[in-house]
């Protein structure tokens, strides 16, 4: 049956669960508060463009393939709003008593600091001011990655970024402390490729982000938002991948309870400037990772950790195996993201969502769709699925369309037109 596409004006416009009118009035309110604050404080924060001036004379030769924003031309540094080339990461935090978590967006402010805004239970985006700063030592256009989970009655969230000496950094917070502390990764001196556009992604693995009572967005092939742990492994933890040079990713692992991260393996012939995607929180024992190879083709690799079954030629156990899925000719600095749909940016700036049928060696792409309108080339993107007011779910894609913005585009989970709005990012 072909999907019925309702004209946009026949559906109430929603933005990540928000009715438009409510949303805009909340933005206006937030904006008013911010102006008040800015006047109160009197002074703005200095703009940080570290180490880039010496490179400015080289810009004529730079294509946007591996650069973004002010690294191409200093005129492109944002003068307000978000950093041009901001990392973007989403986390559902503060899970409590079976409720949906609050959605938190991490981004880089034009001043260079890493900040957050949250979608409150009463449906407004709040924060992003100097009071919501997580880090001030991030490199320009650092990728950001956030992982949130809930175990043994405590919700925790980890934020990963790259500092201005190209070291990996981990900050951890929880709903029992509400204080950011350095995670073990910070002290481990992992050096990331020195480049403007560089891939880094952390992924939770194990079933459903922890406790089984956590309600989440619907999993692929399961029309139910309650965790189903049947047939799943019991290990929970994180994987983290980062580019150590232009063609190599390093993979680290951390298991819940570990005091440090452990080196796992290197991945060769990959595009280290591109992002990375993963799907490792569904039912079953197979984990997936998506990377862009040196020919700018997206590859989907899978690994089944179920040691109860025996290895066969088509289905090895405990070994990363390439599927036959290929998405050719993506943008060389594309960011990748997965929640219900898999997203990648093409060379024309358009972000495409792909529906994927996950089945280890039989994984296939079943249909694709364009997202809203094109982003700046090499924009970071972060995606999620949220419940909406009509009882259904909506796809949400956060990305940048002009460089000083954070745009979020949303569409019904299975069909329909996109609507979009921009987050109000305070200037001070
Ligand atoms: C951000 O940088 C891009 C190039 O990466 C440029 O096309 C765009 O105009 C810049 N945006 C602003 C607000 O300067
Ligand atoms: C933290 O989150 C957990 C998991 O949802 C919840 O059980 C607990 O009550 C929360 N703790 C606080 C102090 O809010
Ligand atoms: C971290 O690594 C860099 C280069 O790999 C090295 O020069 C530096 O000494 C190391 N620092 C520590 C504290 O291990
Ligand atoms: C979802 O599945 C759980 C069992 O895993 C069941 O108890 C619950 O009623 C289901 N909810 C819906 C809405 O189908
Ligand atoms: C839970 O998942 C298993 C395997 O994926 C499936 O067989 C079972 O029907 C599911 N249970 C529920 C309540 O959805
Ligand atoms: C593997 O077998 C053990 C022992 O029978 C069982 O406890 C475990 O749940 C099984 N794991 C999976 C993923 O089926
Ligand atoms: C890292 O953790 C592992 C497992 O928890 C442990 O065996 C190892 O000794 C630790 N390494 C360091 C340097 O602390
Ligand atoms: C992985 O599979 C895809 C699809 O067949 C292919 O394009 C790509 O070259 C493969 N990569 C490797 C390293 O085998
Ligand atoms: C993949 O397809 C083959 C052939 O149809 C089948 O034998 C195998 O069980 C499938 N594997 C998975 C994990 O679905
Ligand atoms: C592909 O997706 C359509 C819905 O968009 C679904 O009806 C169909 O069964 C899917 N095909 C496969 C092989 O999963
Ligand atoms: C970029 O978009 C934001 C949000 O829509 C807008 O406020 C700003 O004026 C735009 N900047 C440019 C240079 O177009």
| Percentage above 70 pLDDT, the chain | 76
Average pLDDT of 219-224?
Answer: 50
pLDDT of residue 389: 73
Ligand 10 atom nearest to 1, measured from its CA: 7
Per residue, the 3-state secondary structure of the chain, as one string, reads CCCCCCCHHHCCCEECCEEHHHHHHHHHHHHHHHHHHHHHHCCCCCCCCCCCHHHHHHHHHCCCCCCCHHHCCHHHCCCCCECCCCCEEEEEECCCCCCCCEEEEEEEECCCCEEEEEECCCCCEEECCHHHEEECCECCCCCCEEEEEEECCEEEEEEEEEECCCEEEEEEEECCCCCCEECHHHHHCCECCCCCCCCEEEEEECCCCECCCCCCCCCCCCCCCCCCCCCCCCCCEEEEEEEEECCEEEEEEEECCCCCCEEEEEECCECCCCCEEEECCCCCCEEEEEEEECCCCEEEEEEECCCCCCCCCCCCECCCEEEEEEECCECCCCCEEEECEEEEEECCCCEEEEEEECCHHHCEEEEEEECCCCCCCCCCCEEEEEECCCCCEEEEEEECCCCCCCEEEEEECCCCCCEEEECCCCCC
Torsion angle of C-alpha atoms 362, 350, 218, 156, degrees rounded to 10: 110
**Look-up of token digits 């259904």:** 392
pLDDT of residue 84: 98
Question: Is any atom of ligand 6 closer than 6 Å to the C-beta of 233?
Answer: yes
CA-proximal residue: ligand 6, atom 1 (nearest):
308
Average pLDDT of 79-87?
Answer: 97
Mean pLDDT estimate for the chain: 82
Ligand 5 atom nearest to 284, measured from its CA: 5
Question: Is any atom of ligand 1 closer than 6 Å to the C-beta of 112?
Answer: no
Ligand nearest the Cα atom of residue 252: 7
**Alpha-carbon distance 151 to 214, whole Å?**
10
Ligand nearest the Cα atom of residue 148: 2
pLDDT of residue 385: 86
Ligand nearest the Cα atom of residue 188: 3
Phi and psi, residue 30, nearest 5°: -60, -40
Residue 127 pLDDT greater than 60, yes or no: yes
CATH class name, domain 88-422 = mainly beta
Phi and psi, residue 162, nearest 5°: -115, 130
Per residue, the 3-state secondary structure of 165-218, as one string, reads CCEEEEEEEECCCCCCEECHHHHHCCECCCCCCCCEEEEEECCCCECCCCCCCC
pLDDT band at 6 (very low <50, low <70, confident <90, very high): very low
Dist. CA 224 → ligand 4 center (Å): 6
pTM: 0.84
User: Could you tell me the CA-to-CA distances from 145 to 162, 214, 314, 383 in Å, in that order?
Assistant: 10, 21, 33, 11
**Alpha-carbon distance 400 to 375, whole Å?**
6
Ligand nearest the Cα atom of residue 257: 7
Question: Is any atom of ligand 7 closer than 6 Å to the C-beta of 245?
Answer: no
Q: What does the block give as tokens for 16?
A: 């990540």
Range of lowest pLDDT (86-90, 106-110, 217-221, 376-380): 217-221
Question: Is any atom of ligand 3 closer than 6 Å to the C-beta of 189?
Answer: yes
Range of lowest pLDDT (12-16, 82-86, 133-137): 12-16
Dist. CA 84 → ligand 1 center (Å): 6
Q: What does the block give as tokens for 413?
A: 């989970």
Question: Is any atom of ligand 3 closer than 6 Å to the C-beta of 165?
Answer: no
Structural domain boundaries of the chain? 88-422
CA-proximal residue: ligand 11, atom 13 (nearest):
402
């Amino acid at each position: 049956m072909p999907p019925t596409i309702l004209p946009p004006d026949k559906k109430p416009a929603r933005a990540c669960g928000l009715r438009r009118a409510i949303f805009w009035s909340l933005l206006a309110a937030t904006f008013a508060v911010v102006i008040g604050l800015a006047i109160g404080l009197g002074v703005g924060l200095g703009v940080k463009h570290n180490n880039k001036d010496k490179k400015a004379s080289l810009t004529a030769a730079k294509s946007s393939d591996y650069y973004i924003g002010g690294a191409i031309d200093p005129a492109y540094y944002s003068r307000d709003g978000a950093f041009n080339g901001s990392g973007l990461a989403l986390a559902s935090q503060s899970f409590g008593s079976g409720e949906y978590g609050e959605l938190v967006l991490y981004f880089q402010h034009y001043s260079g600091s890493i900040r957050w805004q949250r979608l409150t239970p009463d449906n407004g985006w709040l924060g992003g001011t100097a009071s919501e700063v997580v880090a001030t030592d991030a490199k320009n256009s650092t990728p950001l990655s956030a992982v949130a989970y809930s175990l043994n009655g405590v919700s925790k969230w980890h934020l990963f970024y790259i500092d201005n000496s190209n070291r990996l950094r981990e900050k951890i917070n929880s709903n029992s402390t509400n204080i950011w502390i350095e995670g073990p990764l910070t002290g481990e001196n992992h050096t990331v490729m020195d480049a403007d556009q560089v891939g880094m992604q952390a992924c939770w693995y194990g079933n459903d982000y922890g406790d089984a009572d956590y309600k989440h967005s619907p999993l692929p092939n399961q029309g139910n938002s309650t965790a189903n742990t049947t047939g799943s492994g019991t290990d929970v933890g994180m994987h983290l991948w980062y580019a150590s040079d232009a063609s190599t990713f390093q993979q680290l692992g951390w298991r819940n309870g570990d005091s440090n991260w452990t080196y796992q393996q290197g991945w060769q012939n990959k595009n280290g400037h591109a992002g990375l995607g993963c799907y490792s929180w569904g039912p079953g024992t197979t984990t997936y990772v998506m990377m862009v190879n040196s020919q700018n083709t997206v590859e989907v690799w899978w690994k089944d950790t179920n040691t109860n079954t025996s290895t066969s030629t088509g289905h090895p156990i405990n070994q990363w195996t390439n599927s036959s899925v290929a998405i050719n000719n993506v943008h060389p600095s594309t960011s990748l993201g997965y929640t219900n749909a898999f997203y990648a940016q093409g060379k024309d700036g358009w972000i495409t969502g792909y529906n994927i049928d996950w089945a280890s060696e039989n994984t296939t792409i079943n249909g694709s769709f364009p997202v809203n309108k094109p982003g700046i080339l090499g924009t970071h993107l972060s995606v999620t699925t949220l419940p909406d007011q009509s009882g259904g779910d909506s796809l949400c894609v956060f990305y940048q369309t002009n460089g000083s913005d954070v745009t979020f585009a949303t569409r019904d989970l299975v069909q329909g037109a996109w609507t979009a709005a921009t987050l109000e990012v305070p200037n001070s």
